[in-house]
């Protein structure tokens, strides 16, 4: 689409606000913006102003390229020992008979149902079930790799890993080495929520804290693994808590370079202990994506997770700094359906995803988990997209 430098300079000049002008100049000159500037963007930046700037940065980094991957999810259990207030998904361990727990055989049945299908990644994430221990998951990882060695396994948040490592009485380094050797290729971004204790203690006090979350990702990065990072926004946090969260991630990324993608996750309020908290508006959502692009200068990719945002809003984020809309998930991803996403059956075929991206004049690129390009769909005619 190509926002050129002259257009962006006139945008900067169009705002009468001197502080915003200074921030924009830093961004255009590829200077990092500090904490206070991040908060200021939230407080003062209009949707169109932030969007134009974020889109400029996105196009500088990626042009029109918009990534997606072909993946499927396995959710081993929704039984969880923790009680995050925003979670609509878990069944507390005390009520475990109301939940589900899959055996290795059942999970391998899911993996085998994708035999011959062109998926490149399996995303494994679920609740924290005390009986599903480290050995259980090592066995699962080995079984998946033995069956399909080239399938990238992205699995387990620090919440799950911290619990299983502690229970197995191994250090994070030892546990991560075992998991990596058994077949774990990378970590998804979940469990991060809001790092600052002022909020974390109110929404998910009993699970791994910020330092624990960051340490587990650091250990994974030091082993050469990559990972993602999320932020759960739009509930009781203030803008500065979001910037504090992004700042901690930015600092770890400076040290390791191991993060692939930053994924802001919109809080959904159905059927959880925070149902009284209103959801953010679409305008706030787009501002959040734009500021993520502007603040997270050392994260190459910003992802919108469409099963949570809905297809149309995910499409809209592509004009607000986002360059990735996750995968053609064709298994139902229960965590969002249960939290009130419009996407009750979140499945999208490659053809639908490609059309969604092309409708807003971007280039659809199928990628592997580590952003290796698998196929550029830009020139593939619609009739060939079955």
- Binding-site partner at residue 82 among ligand SF4, ligand V47, none, CB < 5 to 8 Å by type: ligand SF4
What are the helix (H) ranges across the chain? 5-14, 18-28, 35-44, 47-62, 104-112, 134-147, 158-167, 172-182, 197-203, 210-222, 239-256, 282-295, 306-309, 311-317, 334-337, 350-359
C-beta separation of 144 from 154 below 8 A: no
Q: How far is the CB of 193 from ligand SF4 (least distance, A)?
A: 8
Query: Using CB distances below 5 to 8 A depending on partner kind, what does residue 338 bind out of ligand SF4, ligand V47, none?
Result: none
Residue with Cβ nearer ligand SF4 (54 or 338): 338
Contact map string, positions 244 to 283, toward ligand V47, x by CB under 6 A: -------------------x-x-xx---x-----------
Which of 50, 159, 199, 314 forms a contact with ligand SF4 (CB under 6 A)? 159
Q: Site residues for ligand SF4, window 83-122 (CB under 6 A)? A: 83-84, 87, 89-90
| Residue with the CB atom nearest ligand V47 in the bound state | 190
Check: CB of residue 245 under 8 Å from CB of residue 265.
no
- What residues between 50 and 89 interact with ligand SF4 by CB under 6 A? 80, 82-84, 87, 89
Interacting residues of 15 by C-beta distance below 8 A, sequence separation 6+: 21, 24, 49
Cβ neighbours, 10 Å, residue 8: 20
- For residue 87, the minimal CB distance to ligand V47 (Å) is 5
Contact partner at residue 339 from ligand SF4, ligand V47, none, CB < 5 to 8 Å by partner kind: ligand V47
Interaction partner, residue 364 (ligand SF4, ligand V47, none; CB < 5-8 Å by kind) = none
The verdict on 207 binding ligand SF4 (CB under 6 A) reads yes
Token pair belonging to 263: 């994924």
List the interface residues with ligand V47, window 119-158 (CB under 6 A): none
Contacts of residues 317-320 at CB distance under 8 Å and 24 or more positions apart, as own/partner, are 317/285, 317/286, 317/289, 318/66, 318/357, 318/360, 318/362, 319/51, 319/55, 319/360, 320/50, 320/51, 320/54, 320/55, 320/286, 320/287, 320/289, 320/290, 320/293
Per CB under 6 A, does 230 bind ligand V47? yes
Q: Is 190 in the site for ligand V47 (CB under 6 A)?
A: yes
The residues binding ligand SF4 (CB under 6 A) are 80, 82-84, 87, 89-90, 127-128, 159, 204, 207
């Amino acid at each position: 689409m190509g926002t050129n430098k002259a257009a962006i300079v006139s945008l900067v000049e169009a705002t009468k606000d001197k502080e915003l002008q200074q921030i924009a100049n830093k961004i255009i000159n590829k200077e990092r913006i500090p904490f206070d500037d991040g908060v200021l963007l939230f407080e003062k930046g209009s949707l169109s102003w932030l969007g134009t700037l974020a889109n400029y940065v996105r196009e500088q980094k990626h042009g029109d390229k918009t990534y997606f991957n072909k993946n499927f999810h396995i959710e081993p259990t929704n039984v969880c020992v923790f009680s995050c207030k925003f979670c609509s998904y878990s069944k507390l361990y005390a009520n475990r008979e109301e939940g589900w727990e899959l055996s290795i055989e059942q999970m391998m049945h899911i993996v085998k149902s994708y035999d011959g299908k062109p998926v490149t990644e399996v995303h494994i994430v679920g609740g924290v079930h005390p009986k599903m221990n480290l050995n259980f998951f090592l066995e699962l990882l080995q079984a998946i790799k033995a069956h399909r060695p080239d399938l990238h396994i992205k699995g387990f948040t620090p919440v799950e890993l911290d619990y299983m490592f502690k229970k197995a009485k191994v250090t994070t380094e030892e546990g991560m080495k075992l998991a990596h050797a058994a077949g774990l290729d990378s970590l998804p971004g979940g469990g991060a929520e809001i790092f600052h204790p002022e909020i974390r203690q109110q929404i998910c006090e009993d699970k791994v804290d910020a330092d624990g979350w960051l340490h587990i990702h650091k250990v994974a990065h030091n082993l050469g693994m990559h990972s993602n990072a999320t932020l759960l926004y739009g509930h009781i946090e203030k803008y500065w808590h979001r910037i504090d969260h992004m700042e901690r991630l930015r600092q770890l990324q400076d040290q390791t370079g191991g993060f692939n993608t930053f994924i802001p996750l919109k809080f959904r309020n159905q059927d959880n202990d925070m149902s009284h908290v209103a959801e953010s508006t679409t305008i706030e959502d787009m501002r959040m994506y734009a500021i993520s692009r502007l603040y997270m200068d050392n994260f190459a990719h910003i992802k919108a997770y469409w099963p949570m945002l809905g297809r149309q809003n995910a499409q809209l984020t592509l004009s607000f700094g986002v360059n990735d809309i996750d995968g053609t998930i064709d298994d139902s991803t229960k965590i969002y359906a249960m939290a009130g996403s419009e996407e009750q059956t979140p499945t999208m075929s490659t053809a639908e995803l490609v059309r969604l991206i092309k409708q807003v004049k971007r280039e659809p690129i199928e990628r592997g988990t580590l952003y290796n390009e698998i196929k550029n769909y830009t020139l593939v005619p619609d009739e060939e997209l079955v």
